[in-house]
């Protein structure tokens, strides 16, 4: 098996066929999602950019990023993060190290943009996967707009990747506001 080749696609550059290919991949990765139903390549917020891994030209891995400032108590401007979501590896490729390679490639991309931190919200059972890529669970819970427009505090883990900053620079707060949808 060859390692995937990675490329960035900016959202404005994705044409109909590109969306269809990624929608199909994400539907395979998230078969129970009502929003990733095979016709849409995003679930809540549309990202700015997608990092796609391909093998023999076929998209097998995907992660998306939207840069935003999280609002935190005590900070006027907030904390700049690469907000990460739509993390998926094709089921027929899972468990072979592709996800780990993707997290490493993602970290390189975030560093190239000189971002202080990566940020994501996830489920409890995936914290270990992200920890393997250097992501750290922080105490803060994340307030955000749900797809049905309700503003809610997410009950699951919030994770941070120190990129240009160290984890000691992450604000010691109990809540951060996304002021938007999850990617
Ligand atoms: C989560 C996912 C991206 C991992 O990709 P992958 O290619 O299977 O992961 P890898 O083979 O590189 O595994 C890397 C490490 O993470 C662990 N890991 C992988 N999937 C995991 C999971 N679902 N839960 C916990 N740990 C996991 C592996 O055991 C491995 O650990 P090790 O280094 O101790 O051996 C993939 O399983 C997937 O697409 N799942 C469905 C979609 C999803 O849940 N995405 C995340 C949404 S937040």
pLDDT digits 0-9 by tens, 24-73: 999 999 999 999 999 999 999 999 999 999 999 999 999 999 999 999 99
User: Residue 1 class from Cβ within 10 Å (0-12 exposed, 13-18 middle, 19+ buried)?
Assistant: exposed
- Closest-CA residue, ligand 1 atom 12, reads 97
pLDDT classification of 84: cutoffs 50, 70, 90: very high
Closest-CA residue to 85 (of 123, 114, 116): 123
Instruction: Please give the model's pTM, rounded to 2 decimal places.
Output: 0.97
Q: How far is the CA of 122 from the centre of ligand 1 (A)?
A: 12
CATH of domain 5-177: 3.40.630.30
Which conformational region is residue 134 in: left (phi greater than 0), alpha (psi within -120 to 50 degrees), or beta? left
Q: How far is the CA of 95 from the centre of ligand 1 (A)?
A: 7
- Closest-CA residue, ligand 1 atom 25, reads 126
Q: How far is the CA of 99 from the centre of ligand 1 (A)?
A: 6
pLDDT classification of 2: cutoffs 50, 70, 90: confident
Domain coordinates in residue numbering, the chain:
5-177
Torsion sign over Cα 98, 124, 165, 83:
positive
């Amino acid at each position: 098996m060859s390692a995937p080749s990675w490329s960035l696609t900016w959202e404005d550059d994705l044409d109909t066929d590109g969306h269809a290919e990624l929608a199909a991949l994400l539907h395979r990765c998230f078969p129970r999602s009502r929003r990733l139903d095979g016709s849409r390549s995003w679930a809540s917020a549309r990202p700015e950019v997608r990092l796609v891994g391909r093998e023999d030209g076929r998209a097998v891995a995907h992660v998306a990023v939207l840069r935003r400032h999280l609002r935190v108590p005590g900070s006027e401007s907030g904390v700049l993060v690469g907000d990460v979501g739509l993390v998926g590896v094709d089921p027929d490729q899972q468990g072979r190290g592709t996800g780990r390679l993707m997290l490493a490639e993602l970290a390189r991309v975030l560093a190239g943009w000189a971002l202080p931190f990566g940020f994501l919200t996830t489920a409890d059972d995936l914290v270990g996967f992200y920890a393997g890529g250097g992501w750290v669970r922080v105490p803060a819970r994340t307030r955000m707009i749900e797809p049905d427009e309700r503003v809610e505090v997410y009950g699951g883990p919030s994770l941070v990747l120190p990129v240009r900053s160290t984890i000691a620079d992450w604000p010691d707060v109990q809540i951060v506001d996304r002021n938007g949808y999850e990617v």
